């Protein structure tokens, strides 16, 4: 359930013109398309049925059920839609400018505290189409506040991600090599190339090999990969945050390597 104060709800309803039962200038069809494109959810699903079942009441039902992040994301799209109308003179700007500004503040508050830190780092490091779909599916589960339902896909994502890292650095590996073994080869490469400055960072990376070994067990015995009892919500969040923090650090290292490579290429030019 989105955490909205009485005043915030009143401002949202006034901004979207919900008093009449409508939402802005949307028809049933365009409303469904808009919400679906913004969130990937069906606003006409039975769970959002509320009172008279008008578009406004559907949206009220949506805000009662969905998380801060999802509601904030949708409200942000409504703000963008309103702004596009104002900039093309389809509505009178000053009429709702204060409400627009207030709704932007609400969007910022609702979306700033996602349950998983650095969720944006879960992006493919190759051009494989299935990799992109996998990342999108994981993010959708997080936005729905269902981390435990995405643990198996997160494991698959990390395997593909680390395997690609090994390929990029010319590290030989077997197709069925386990995740922790792949990551161990990558860490060894970083250490051999003296890309890690502190003993503490080295120890954290080495320990991460053990963490990923334990992740194999979670995937096999506590996720939807098989007919298992799924891991609890809070431990699932802990695992997600550990993985995203690790990938965030790896991205920093990879960017450093790319920068050094570019500088070397420029230095080798004959002028």
Report domain extents, the chain: 6-111, 119-267
Determine if the pTM surpasses 0.85: no
Per-residue pLDDT of the chain (271 residues; tens, 9 = 90+): 788 999 999 999 999 999 999 999 999 999 999 999 998 889 999 999 988 889 999 999 999 998 888 899 999 999 999 999 999 988 866 668 999 999 999 999 998 767 787 888 899 999 888 999 999 999 888 877 789 999 999 999 999 999 999 999 999 999 899 999 999 999 999 999 999 999 999 999 999 999 999 999 999 999 999 998 999 988 999 999 999 999 999 999 999 888 887 665 545 555 5
**154 — phi, psi (to 5°)?**
-60, -40
Structure tokens at 39: 């969130």
Q: Specify whether the CB–CB gap between 231 and 255 falls below 8 A.
A: no
- Closest by alpha carbon to 171, among 161, 160, 158, 186? 186
**Crossing angle of helices 68-87/6-16, nearest 10°?**
40
Q: How would DSSP label each residue in 122-134? A: ---SS--HHHHHH
Residue 13 CB burial class (10 angstroms; 0-12, 13-18, ≥19): middle
Rounded Cα distance, 23 and 60, in Å:
11
Cα–Cα distances (Å) from 251 to 87, 121, 228, 254, in that order, read: 38, 8, 33, 5
């Amino acid at each position: 359930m989105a955490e909205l104060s009485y005043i915030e709800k009143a401002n949202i309803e006034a901004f979207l013109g919900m008093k009449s039962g409508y939402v802005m200038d949307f028809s049933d069809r365009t409303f469904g398309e808009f919400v679906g494109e913004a969130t990937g959810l069906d606003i006409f699903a039975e769970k959002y049925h509320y009172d008279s079942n008008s578009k406004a009441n559907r949206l009220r039902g949506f805000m009662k059920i969905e998380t801060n992040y999802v509601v904030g994301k949708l409200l942000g799209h409504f703000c963008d839609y309103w702004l596009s109308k104002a900039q093309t003179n389809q509505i009178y700007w000053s009429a709702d400018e204060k409400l627009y500004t207030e709704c932007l503040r609400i969007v910022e508050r609702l979306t700033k505290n996602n349950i998983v830190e650095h969720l944006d780092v879960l992006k493919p490091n190759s051009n494989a189409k299935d990799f992109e779909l996998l990342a999108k599916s994981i993010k959708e589960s997080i936005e729905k506040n269902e981390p435990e339902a995405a643990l198996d896909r997160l494991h698959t994502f990390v395997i593909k991600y680390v395997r690609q890292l090994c390929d990029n650095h010319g590290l030989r590996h077997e197709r069925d090599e386990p995740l922790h073994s792949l990551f161990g080869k990558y860490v060894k490469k970083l250490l051999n190339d003296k890309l890690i400055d502190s003993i503490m960072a080295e120890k954290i990376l080495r320990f991460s090999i053990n963490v990923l070994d334990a992740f194999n067990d979670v995937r096999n015995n506590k996720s939807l990969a098989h007919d298992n009892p799924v891991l609890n919500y809070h431990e699932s969040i802990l695992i997600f945050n550990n993985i995203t923090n690790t990938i965030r650090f790896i991205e920093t290292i990879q960017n450093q390597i790319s920068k050094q490579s570019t500088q070397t290429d420029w230095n080798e030019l004959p002028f």
